[in-house]
Each structure stands twice: as C-alpha cells, then as structure tokens.
C-alpha cells in the first residue's frame, strides 16, 4: 500500500497533534500509523505519521503545499516522503564481507526496500561477489598520504553525487572519514561499529573486550560524525560470552550481531523512523 510518511521535529507546545491530524482529516486522509514523543530534556516534540496515499485527493507535492502553513505556525523541521520512491543507497566496504553479504541478500530478496547504486571499496577483493549481484563495483584506493587520501574522498563524493544517492552505509569500511566529509553529509552516513558503544571505540574492539574480560559483547549502528565512533546511535544489541571464549570466538559471535544490528538500523532509516535529537536519536520502531 502506497503511503506518505510525515516526520516532524519542533518545539513542544499544546496543539501540535491536533493541528497536524486536523489538516490530514480535512482532506479525507486516513492515518495508518502515528507515533510521537515529547522530550523533556530538550523541550522538543517528535512526530511520525503514515497516511494512505489513496485516501488523499492529491500527491506529495500538493501535500507539502497544504502542510506548509501548519509547519510555519509551529516552527517545524519536517519532511514528507512517498513510499513509492525508494531511497538510493551507496555501500562502502573494505575486505570483510559479512555485513555486505547480509545486506545484499536482504535487498535481493525484497526485504530491504531501497536501490543500491554501487558498492565502493578501497580494496578489490569483493568485486566478483558484488558484480555477481549486478551492482556496479567502484574501486577507490585510499593511500595513507594526506593529499592522496583527500583525493580519494573527493572521488567518493563525486560518485555519491553522480549516482544521486541519498545515503552512504559503511558496511565494515575500515577508513576514517575526513571531518569535512562527515559534516557535509550529517545524518546521511550510517556505520556499523563492532562494539557496544561507548565501550571499546576505535580499532580491535574484540581484543579490547577480551582483555577486559567482559561478559557481553555487542554492535552499534550509528550516524557518522567527525568525532570517531561518537555519532548518534540508531540501534544496538549484545550477546553473552564467558571466560572460555577466545578473541576469535568473540569476533565470530560479534559478526552475527553486526549483521542484524546494521540491517535493523538501516531499515528504520529507510522507513523514516529515525529522527535526530542532538547527539541522540528518537527511533519509532
């Protein structure tokens, strides 16, 4: 069923829900799903509403025009998306393929509704696997020299724009993105980190977890910011381990968690269920 998804962030005050639903009802709109949250610490109100497209007498452009006066009255940051317009996703990987393989399976089976524009990698190892799926593979090496690294990310930026992609997903892309690159695409880059952040940020988190003797390991799906592994968290999960598990066993268990956490976080983003709230997120899952 085709739906229009309206997401709103605005200062909290009385009358927001009444104004929004009243406008929809005045045009005969049928609300399929509605979720809201008032955040006491920030004083912000968050709202997500799905409206069945067939119940309205107009399309998304006219919907935006009709909604604009309400948005201005309540100083809203808002957007209306059409579920028939699939988001365009560019995947970035290095050598590990477990997250990539999981996402491509979900995409090919129809469980992940998006268009994958290409897979970009700093190594060529996964080219045959990607091209078997009929997806363009773009090799963009990232040399350690600062000037060459800047050129590499300029090329990634060019590809992103050329493909008219909406989102980048770092599916175990083992490169640190430049701060300017992160700032330019705030809220449009998703990463999977193989740790239950904020614990064990940075490299080799499974070895760090083993050294500390932790009893739970996990993974974190988050938006990328200029601060390494500190972006707003979308989803997390954990698995129990014990003293007999080696770092390699932690890594094996952790890969399963990484796959599911990234898939859930990406799906929620694609469905416009994630709203930013400063350094945190509101997730209407």
First CA to last CA across the chain, in angstroms?
A: 19
Largest Cα–Cα separation, the chain: 63
Q: Which residues pair with 4 in a beta bridge?
A: 51, 82
Q: Distance (Å, rounded) from C-alpha 162 to C-alpha 189?
A: 17
Q: Which residues pair with 281 in a beta bridge?
A: 276
Tell me the catalytic residues: 229
Q: In the chain, which ranges are E strands?
A: 3-11, 31-39, 44-52, 77-82, 88-93, 115-121, 137-139, 167-170, 189-193, 216-223, 233-240, 274-277, 280-283
């Amino acid at each position: 069923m085709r739906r229009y998804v309206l997401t709103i962030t605005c200062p909290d005050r009385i009358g927001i829900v009444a104004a929004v639903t009243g406008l929809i009802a005045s045009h005969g709109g049928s609300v399929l799903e509605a979720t809201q949250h008032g955040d006491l610490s920030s004083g912000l109100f968050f709202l997500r509403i799905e409206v069945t497209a067939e119940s309205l007498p107009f399309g998304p452009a006219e919907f935006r025009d009709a909604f604009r006066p309400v948005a201005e009255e309540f100083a809203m940051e808002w957007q209306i998306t059409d579920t028939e317009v699939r988001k365009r996703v560019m995947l970035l990987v290095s050598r590990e393929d477990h997250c990539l393989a999981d996402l491509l399976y979900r995409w090919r089976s129809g469980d992940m509704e998006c268009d994958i524009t290409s897979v970009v990698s700093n190594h060529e190892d996964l080219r045959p696997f990607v091209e078997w799926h009929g997806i363009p593979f773009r090799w963009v090496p990232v040399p350690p020299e600062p000037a060459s690294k800047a050129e590499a990310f300029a090329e990634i930026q060019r590809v992103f724009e050329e493909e008219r992609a909406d989102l980048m997903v770092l599916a175990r892309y083992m490169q640190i993105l430049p701060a300017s690159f992160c700032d330019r695409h705030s809220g449009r880059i998703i990463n999977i980190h193989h740790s239950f952040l904020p614990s064990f940020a940075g490299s080799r988190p499974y070895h760090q977890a083993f050294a500390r003797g932790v009893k739970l390991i996990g993974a974190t799906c988050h938006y990328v910011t200029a601060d390494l592994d500190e972006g707003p968290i979308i989803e997390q999960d954990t698995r129990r381990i014990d003293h007999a598990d080696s770092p390699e066993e932690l890594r094996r268990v952790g890969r399963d968690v990484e796959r599911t956490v990234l898939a859930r976080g990406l799906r929620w983003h694609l469905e416009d269920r994630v709203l930013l709230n400063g350094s945190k997120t509101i997730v209407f899952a």
